[in-house]
Structure 1
Amino acid sequence: MAAPRLPPARLSGVMVPAPIQDLEALRALTALFKEQRNRETAPRSIFQRVLGILKKSSQDVELACRDPSQAEHLASSLQLITECFRCLRNACIECSVNQDSIRNLDTIGVAVDLILLFRELQTEQESLLTAFRCGLQFLGNVASRNEESQSIVWAHAFPELFLFLVITDHFLKSPELVKAMYAKLTNPERVTFLDLMIAKMVGDDPLTKDDIPMFLSHAELVASTFVDDCRGVLKVTSEHQTEDEEVLAIIRLLDVLCEMTANPDLLVYLQGFPGLLERAIDLLRLVHVAGKDTTNLFTATGCIKADADISSVADGFKSHLIRLIGNLCYKNRENQDKVGRAPCFDVWNVWLGRRHPVNELDGIPLILDNCSIDDSNPFLTQWVVYTIRNLTEDNSQNQDLIAKMEEQGLADPSVLKKMGFEVEKRGEKLILKPTGEAPQP
């Protein structure tokens, strides 16, 4: 027989069961919290009751950890735990008041301790995985855009839970938790996390349709962080600064973006990400100029060593920048045109202090100027060829631009030939066409 209930309480004009003592009542609350008005008017006592159920159910999990024979009797407890997490997860969506109330009850500590207990259970029940996943979603939502909650999650989760989640690949499955925690990671920890993300994308098992939504969220985090922080890589242009943990983290962000843009579903999103293409061109120009002005880690060596060992954090950086630019322009006319437009020094842009108008990146001469052998950037020429082909595919304006550059002596014919192109004059018109020969290494 069900436990007797008190008369129902009201939540924003909607009748809800109180006190919350069973699965049915929790499910009702979870549904109610899908609406913003219900979240904003929830009394603190609701979360105290949910926490009470969570604590009571946690005792059953502790018992099963001590006595594995009890694990098979956990079904009802795991159902309650799962619904508690779902209820709390929904309550925290865009509601800092609820985040604060839940945090101040020490629900975060109880949740983290419970998730850590899950890994000790000697069972592979699907209900356990569901509870585990919902618990991570709750931690992500309670910490989202809430610095105090982020600090509490971090205090309870690091290092034990964080390292466990990273190693078992579960951290990637909670985008909100990733977003909330990324800012708290040290640069070496960020590198570890980004390496895990790369391993997931290039592993034997390709991303599934179910993986794409969470990786779209990761793509937003990675791209926005790269756009904001990527100029920090210029630290290594100093003759006294050759290694830096922040620089390594930025380089790993670029590596992740290269792999993400190799995925058709993620590529479409990143091709339209605000400022990403512009920042990549801008950064390529800065490191290219820096490498020419002084001798530093971005200076082209003009040779290839036999051993081809990676000797610095900046090795391969320009190659990957150009690869990213090429991916972002793949079958995308808008981005092709952005990169190909030449600067226009009209009076208004001079008055406004702009080098050239917005969206006119003048990137083709820059990319062509990088077509050279460079020991620090393996396959640099091949990525330049790839990118130029993506920029000129079905784009007569960019083709004409390169042809005119060759006529004016701004593009070396031997470089174009090495890339598999040649310029042919037909009447008054210059045509850029493929030679039919494979590009030379």
Structure 2
Amino acid sequence: MWEGRCPEGMAAGSFSPLACTRGGRETAPRTIFQRVLDILKKSSHAVELACRDPSRAEHLASSLQLITECFRCLRNACIECSVNQNSIRNLDTIGVAVDLILLFRELRVEQESLLTAFRCGLQFLGNVASRNEDSQSVVWMHAFPELFLSCLNHPDKKIVAYSSMILFTSLSSGRMKELEENLNIAIDVVAAHQKQPESEWPFLIITDHFLKSPELVKAMYAKMSNQERVTLLDLMIAKLVGDEPLTTDDIAVFLSHAELIASTFVDQCKMVLKLTSEQHAEDEEALATIRLLDVLCEMTANTDLLGYLQVFPGLLERVVDLLRLIHVAGNDTPNVFSTGGCVKAEGDVSNMAEGFKSHLIRLIGNLCYKNKDNQDKVNELDGIPLLLDSCSLDDKNPFLTQWVVYAIRNLTEDNSQNQDLIAKMEEQGLADASLLKKMGFEVEKRGDRLILKSTSDTPPL
């Protein structure tokens, strides 16, 4: 809700100041709102003429002041007062306000008074719709889609924030389908959050509405820029790791999101190899693919989503294959995937490509958790020697050793074939005994057979 001062500088007897005070809101007669509407209509005509003839724009100061005061009166009258909201709505004030706001975008003037009127108009629409379903329907009918297309990408931050508030207030599950047919609005909301992460309304629209519609997210993702995709994926991660656990309804929705994320990663994951070339060091498509991996790591950390991703066609094979490719690429020539050599004391990870190898190994570990088929599949893909060879200090991959330990633990749990393989590797000098000890294992010879034996009951992670 927005509240401000009462109207000033208007014609004597236009309306009573009681219309804008908390105590007098519900006693405001309908005639006051009719007078305010008449003033708005008259002033709107002056704005319309200025849109047609730019030379008139410089004489709009008094009209803009009147419009501002009218919007302030209406805005304040609607605060926590459904009676006034209904009276104002029934006069068709909402339609007049929306038409006027759309005219503001056509004015070619650099006046602070125009921005003030613009902002107050949006605040009025937000207040008249607040907690009032009938008003929300009318606002939606008049404002969608033109007002949102005009305001969500406006250079003024307050106009973006206020129009986002109106969209959030007016959205409902039944109106989400209309957004699918007007994807530019949904994408503008993501872009608004990208530019103004401190603004709560775009964030709430995405987390409380968009992420509950897999069809909308899928359609948006196909049309967004890679920077916008990263922003959306970041919010998906925020939802997964938030303080509130996913509800049953959330799980059903995120299973659909998991299909989009996993299939996109399987199809595009080799894009990250572009980053080995200096000329593609900031390739946005590759960076978006990296963020897909981050989402998959958080999804597989959720037991309700893990089972679906463990059997997702081609996912495990592609992850092991990609780990091998970046491991080889990092050893061949110095690039973003080369081992850094030591762990930075501050542990600062600012580049999105940093930690990629760790996250691949984390995902392999998650996909093999209590899953014999995936344990065997990693063995078949020669993934166990690859994991052991990846275990080294690397300032670009914090906790790399710990994630290798975690993955090996999950690969060998109740899997004698994988245990035997590691035991034979240790005997042949292909596996470091000190590393195995760190993992909680040691190799023991029993007759002619080598046994990989656990030295602790609890995995390190």
Q: Which TM-score bucket, shorter chain as reference?
A: 0.5 to 0.7
Question: Alpha-carbon deviations, 1:51-74, whole Å to 9, x = none?
Answer: xxxxx99x6965898588975996
1:406 is displaced (CA, Å) by 1.6
Alignment partner of 1:283 out of 310, 322, 325 = 322
Equivalent pair of 2:362/2:403 in contact (CA under 8 Å): yes
Equivalent pair of 1:165/1:171 in contact (CA under 8 Å): no
2:194 paired with 1:154: no
Alignment partner of 2:300 out of 245, 261, 273 = 261
Question: Alpha-carbon deviations, 1:208-237, whole Å to 9, x = none?
Answer: 112111111111111111111111111111
Give me the TM-score of the superposition, normalised by structure 2.
0.63
1:369 counterpart residue number? 389
1:430 is displaced (CA, Å) by 1.4
Structure 2 vs 1, CA of residues 288 and 71 (structure 1 numbering), >3 Å: closer, same or farther?
closer
Structure 2 vs 1, CA of residues 336 and 108 (structure 1 numbering), >3 Å: closer, same or farther?
farther
Equivalent pair of 1:172/1:197 in contact (CA under 8 Å): yes
2:352 paired with 1:306: no
Structure 2 vs 1, CA of residues 118 and 311 (structure 1 numbering), >3 Å: closer, same or farther?
closer
Equivalent pair of 1:420/1:434 in contact (CA under 8 Å): yes
2:455 counterpart residue number? 435
Alignment partner of 1:139 out of 173, 179, 201 = 179
1:197 counterpart residue number? 236
1:224 counterpart residue number? 263
Equivalent pair of 2:362/2:407 in contact (CA under 8 Å): yes
Counterparts of 2:227 and 2:371, CA distance in 1: 35
- State the SS of the aligned residue for 2:217: helix
Question: Alpha-carbon deviations, 1:320-355, whole Å to 9, x = none?
Answer: 0000000001011111111112xxxxxxxxxxxxxx
Equivalent pair of 2:406/2:459 in contact (CA under 8 Å): no
Counterparts of 1:72 and 1:199, CA distance in 2: 27
Name the amino acid aligned to 1:159.
D
- State the SS of the aligned residue for 1:432: strand
Equivalent pair of 2:340/2:395 in contact (CA under 8 Å): yes
- Pair member with larger Rg: 2
- State the SS of the aligned residue for 1:406: helix
Counterparts of 2:360 and 2:422, CA distance in 1: 21
Q: How many residues align?
A: 328
Structure 2 vs 1, CA of residues 225 and 284 (structure 1 numbering), >3 Å: closer, same or farther?
same
Instruction: Map 1:4-19 to 2 at 5 A.
Output: none
Equivalent pair of 2:179/2:185 in contact (CA under 8 Å): no
Counterparts of 1:72 and 1:386, CA distance in 2: 50
Give me the TM-score of the superposition, normalised by structure 1.
0.65
Counterparts of 2:368 and 2:350, CA distance in 1: 31
- State the SS of the aligned residue for 1:159: helix
Instruction: Map 1:28-427 to 2 at 5 A.
Output: 62=95, 75=133, 109=145, 119-120=165-166, 132-140=172-180, 143=181, 153-160=182-189, 163=192, 165-168=202-205, 169=207, 170-310=209-349, 312-341=351-380, 361-427=381-447
Counterparts of 1:319 and 1:183, CA distance in 2: 28
Name the amino acid aligned to 1:406.
E
- State the SS of the aligned residue for 1:375: coil
Structure 2 vs 1, CA of residues 439 and 269 (structure 1 numbering), >3 Å: closer, same or farther?
closer
Structure 2 runs not aligned, ≥5 long? 1-88, 98-122, 153-161, 193-200
Structure 2 vs 1, CA of residues 248 and 117 (structure 1 numbering), >3 Å: closer, same or farther?
closer
Equivalent pair of 1:277/1:325 in contact (CA under 8 Å): yes
Equivalent pair of 2:343/2:394 in contact (CA under 8 Å): yes
Equivalent pair of 2:128/2:135 in contact (CA under 8 Å): no
Equivalent pair of 2:405/2:460 in contact (CA under 8 Å): no
Structure 2 vs 1, CA of residues 111 and 383 (structure 1 numbering), >3 Å: closer, same or farther?
same
Question: Alpha-carbon deviations, 1:108-129, whole Å to 9, x = none?
Answer: 848978x9989439xx9xxx77
Structure 2 vs 1, CA of residues 333 and 72 (structure 1 numbering), >3 Å: closer, same or farther?
closer
- State the SS of the aligned residue for 2:453: strand
Equivalent pair of 2:426/2:443 in contact (CA under 8 Å): yes
Equivalent pair of 1:112/1:161 in contact (CA under 8 Å): no
Name the amino acid aligned to 2:174.
C
1:305 is displaced (CA, Å) by 2.2
Of 380-389 and 408-417, the range deviating more from structure 2? 408-417
1:307 is displaced (CA, Å) by 2.5
- State the SS of the aligned residue for 1:191: helix
1:154 is displaced (CA, Å) by 3.0
Q: Which has the higher helix share?
A: 2
Name the amino acid aligned to 1:281.
V
Structure 1 runs not aligned, ≥5 long? 1-55, 85-106, 144-152, 342-360
Identical-pair percentage: 62
Name the amino acid aligned to 1:288.
H
